Amino acid sequence: MPPLPLNASTQITRAVRMAVFGASLASLPALALMPTQACAQSQTVYEIAPGPLGNALTQFGVQAGVTISFDTEQARHLHTSGLEGSYSVEEGLERLLANSGLQAERQSNGGYVLVARNAQSALELGATQVTTNQLGSVTEGTGSYTPGTIATATRLVLTPRETPQSISVVTRQVMDDFGLNAIDDVMRHTPGITVSTYDTERTNYYSRGFSIVNFQYDGIPTLRDAQYSAGQTLTDMALYDRVEVLKGATGLLTGAGGPGGTINLIRKKPTSQFMSSIEVGAGSWDNYRTQIDVSGPLTETGNVRGRAVAAYQDKKSFLDHYSRKTGVYYGILEVDLDEDTLLTLGADYQDSNPKGSSWTGTRTIFDATGNKLDLPRSFNNGPKWSSWEQYSRTVFATLEHNFDNGWVTKGQYNHQINGYDAPLGYISQDSATASSIYARKYTGETTRDSLDVYASGPFELFGREHQLVVGQSLSISDWKGKDYSNATYFDNNYDFYQWHGQAIEPLWNQPTKINDETTRQSGTYIAGRFSLMDDLHVMLGTRVANYQVTGTSKTKASGKVVPYAGVVYDLNDNVSAYASYTEIFQPQTQYRDRTRKMLAPDEGKNYELGLKGEFFGGRLNSSLAYFEVHETNRPVADLLFNSTPGAEYSYIGTKTTTKGYEAEISGELSPGWQLQAGYTHKISRDDDHIKVATWEPQDQVSFYSSYKLKGNLDKLTLGGGARWQGAGWQTVYNWGYDNRAGRYEKFTQDPYWLVDLMARYQFTDNLSATVNVNNLFDKAYFTNIGFYDSAYYGDPRNVMVTTRWDF
């Protein structure tokens, strides 16, 4: 939405006077009959629909009989979630202004003036930026560890308390405080998420016992490539305002996918005022990073705004002979075609160029004679030439129009190209005395086009205001790839215990397999939020989904109905009870049984109920939830068949049920004190009541906090946190046992704590320095076990120092 013109002081002054005059005329009769103090404290019943803040404030002034002074131009571009129920004037204003960045100050004449929250004087016109859009509230610049509003669950812009599902949000402030420069870092800080590192370029995230395969970019859904080639788990966070993780099944908006959850990455937006920053960082293992971010108006009137972000990182690792260079570039334009129509154009791309990539796990667990290998944390099974280079290129466009009746229409288009070039190898122990390199090469590219169009807004039924969203989405993904599995080796004999990555790259010869696969998804969705009473809201929705894969793999699902239901009941002004039911399905093109037949689609149903709290005007949010996830056709390894020498890895489908509960709190405990913490407990079992997803710990705790000191130390911010997880285990195959007859063995990662610290000093208004210490006590632990009977160590203690200059 358009910002204020930079030279509009005369127009602004006139607008303010007109707003004050109009609100005063509307409130004169009531003020004449009511003493000032009584007016502020008396209860009035309000029914103000969600929509533009300016309209809501005008209605509130009329109904409350008070004078409200505000800038009509500035307020026009902010939105409110509305007001229903009986409140005093000050309570009503607090709710209307929640998450707007503004607050109402009472004047001696009984009227109110809007000011920037925590400001000491009346609102400086033009200083407040747009903080809310159809993706939810912008978190950048708020200093908060919790969001104002979100839209990941249903496209409806709601507060966390109004959303009948568990959702965790890592805001821009959390990322800045704890140096979360990669999505892996963000996921490790997200309550209830388990991060499993397969090797140097592949990571998997788990929620509620399930792998997360659904990603969104500004709400546009995409599935993670089965080949791990899309680069989602290598995403640099320089581009993003926040990351929202919606727990459980999310089929209403995503269609196909897994029942664990969805990760929604919300890009940074241009600002209506000029702002820019440069960051320079250096850390352990020759980790160097630079980032520049420039944003602001591009025209005199401010109707065109732009932002550009660039980041470059060159780092080595605690692993021997491994390094990675990452380059990220991002540009976005917002154009106000008129006061109600916004056009957004943007592009981003990222290159990841590693050297010395590990493969199939980094380190095997057993030696060739069946004994556990005793290797240092720095051991890397990949040769120096091994690499999994990846790149992504994205262009996107959005057109959004606001109508006077509160309805919004929005169309989003996303075009993305992901490519990879991966000559890979690892050293294996063939016997107690001989070792060799096993190598393959993979190349390919995926081109994906996604379109989503929807309309959302209020409507009246049976004398009450409700909300509705109706949309249509289409996604076409084309993957072309080549496998090279018949390499010619040269002098392929190495000493495993003197391995330093020196090896001759093989001749790859001609491709042994050519993949050409097209995935087409489409869906129509509708969801409504019905206000049955002032304190009771019901959400109902459905999606009719179509899914088809043609080419190398083939599968089809047409007219799949995916329902959505939720209810929220306000117990009081701060706490609500909720319940929800969601579904999702996922065709399994990458999972095949021992006959090479594709497994039937994996289907999940999520049942959830709990309590949600909202305090201090939305600055602190909390939740407590019980959930069950019922799944059919979960892919699990066919252990008996896979233990056959030379067998191609195969899976079988099984039914599972995951039960658990989780608690989370995030936001401001007191001025300057921010917190994000959570606890999760869950157990997954199959039809025979045998535990599955055992690598995911049954219990997890995480808490991270920061505090800005007061008085003479007010330039210093201190923070830290810790995460704990219970034991996790996998069944791995020991090929060397009993003269290579082999057997399955249980391998366990014991419970462990990891502790992190941070400190920031603000030297001047423009210059600051932040120190982050991760894994303070240098705990040795595995972040994965079992992948190809291997293990991967988590990072040892490391330090990063970042200097930021705002100008």
- Please report the pLDDT score of residue 123 as a whole number: 34
- Between CA 147 and CA 81 the distance in angstroms is 14
Q: Of the ranges 119-123, 698-702, 755-759, 782-786, which one carries the lowest mean pLDDT score?
A: 119-123
Pick the last residue of a domain from 88, 116, 144: 116
Are the C-beta atoms of residues 99 and 149 closer than 8 Å to each other? yes
**Span 552-562, average pLDDT:** 88
SS3 227: coil
Tell me how far CA of residue 478 lies from CA of 68, 220, 419, 449, in angstroms. Answer: 56, 17, 12, 9
The per-residue pLDDT for 70 is 66
Residue 617 within a domain: yes
Final residue of a domain: which of 116, 134, 162? 116
Q: How many Cα neighbours within 13 Å face the side chain of 475? A: 26
What is the average per-residue pLDDT within 65-89?
71
Q: Could you tell me the pLDDT band of residue 232, with boundaries at 50, 70 and 90?
A: confident
Average pLDDT (560-574) is 96
Q: Is residue 645 part of a domain?
A: yes
Name the most confidently modeled range: 219-233, 462-476, 547-561: 462-476
Best mean pLDDT range from 47-56, 369-378, 530-539, 741-750: 530-539
Q: What is the pLDDT of residue 648?
A: 79
pLDDT digits (tens, 9 = 90+) for 476-510: 999 999 999 999 999 999 999 999 999 999 999 99
Confidence at residue 230, expressed as pLDDT on a 0 to 100 scale: 63
φ, ψ at 372 (rounded to 5°): -70, 135
* 473 backbone dihedrals φ, ψ, rounded to 5°: -135, 155
User: What pLDDT, on a 0 to 100 scale, did the predictor assign at position 600?
Assistant: 82
CATH number at residue 561: 2.40.170.20
Taking every pair of Cα atoms in the chain, the longest distance, rounded to a whole number of angstroms, is 98
Q: How confident is the model at residue 15 (pLDDT cuts 50, 70, 90)?
A: very low
Which of the two residues, 652 and 709, has the higher pLDDT score?
709
In a domain? residue 777:
yes
10: pLDDT strictly greater than 50 = no
Write the DSSP symbol of residue 150.
B
pLDDT confidence of residue 391: 94
d(CA 673, CA 403): 39
Confidence of residue 75 (pLDDT cuts 50, 70, 90): low
Measured CA angle at 487 (ends 484, 493), to 5 deg: 140
pTM (predicted TM-score): 0.84
From 116, 147, 181, give the residue that closes a domain: 116
Sign of the Cα torsion 640, 599, 788, 694 reads negative
Per-residue pLDDT, 621: 96
- The tally of CA atoms less than 13 A away on the side-chain side of residue 77 is 21
Q: What does the pLDDT read at residue 21?
A: 35
pLDDT at residue 430 in the model = 86
Measured between alpha carbons, how far is 649 from 667 in angstroms, rounded to an integer?
46
Cβ-based neighbour number of residue 55 at 10 Å:
18
What ranges in 166-292 are assigned the alpha helix state H?
A: 172-178, 183-189, 251-254
> What is the pLDDT at residue 12?
36
Q: What is the mean pLDDT of residues 89-116?
A: 78
pLDDT of residue 79: 75
742 confidence band (pLDDT: 50, 70, 90): confident
Decide if 257 is inside a domain.
no
* Pick from 609, 383, 407: nearest CA to 501: 383
- Which whole number is the average pLDDT over 645-671? 90
CA distances 698 to 41, 230, 607, 731, 781, Å, are: 49, 30, 19, 17, 17
Q: In the chain, pLDDT over 90 holds for what percent of residues?
A: 65
| Residue 2 located in a structural domain | no
Are the beta carbons of 117 and 102 closer than 8 angstroms?
A: yes
CATH number (domain holding residue 98): 3.55.50.30
Q: What is the pLDDT of residue 127?
A: 30
Angle in degrees, 0-180, between the axes of helices 9-33 and 53-64, rounded to the nearest 10: 30
Q: Which residue has the higher pLDDT, 659 or 78?
A: 659
Over 70: is that where the pLDDT of 217 sits? yes
- What pLDDT is recorded for position 226? 61
Give the pLDDT band (50/70/90) at residue 91.
confident
pLDDT for position 89: 86
Q: Determine the pLDDT at residue 630.
A: 94
Range scoring the smallest mean pLDDT among 35-39, 202-206, 271-275, 353-357 = 35-39
In sequence order, what are the residues at sequence separation of 6 or more whose Cβ sits closer than 8 angstroms to the Cβ of residue 302? Answer: 2, 3, 4, 5, 6, 272
Q: How many CB atoms lie within 10 A of CB 377?
A: 15
Name the more confident of 25 and 11.
11
Output phi, psi for 32, to 5 deg: -70, -25
Q: Which of 542, 400, 544, 407 is nearest to 466 (CA)?
A: 407
Instruction: Find the domain containing 686 and state its range.
Output: 266-806
The rounded distance, in Å, linking the Cα atoms of 560 and 544 is 5
554 confidence band (pLDDT: 50, 70, 90): confident
Residue 38 has what pLDDT? Answer: 43
The band of 766, judged by pLDDT with boundaries at 50, 70 and 90, is very high
What confidence score (pLDDT) does residue 50 get?
74
Question: Is the confidence at residue 459, as pLDDT, over 90?
Answer: yes
Q: Is residue 204 part of a domain?
A: no
Residue 21 belongs to a domain: no
177 belongs to a structural domain: no
Mean of pLDDT over the chain? 87
Closest alpha carbon to 290 in 300, 278, 299, 298: 278
Total number of domains constituting the chain = 2
- Mean of pLDDT values over 653-681: 95
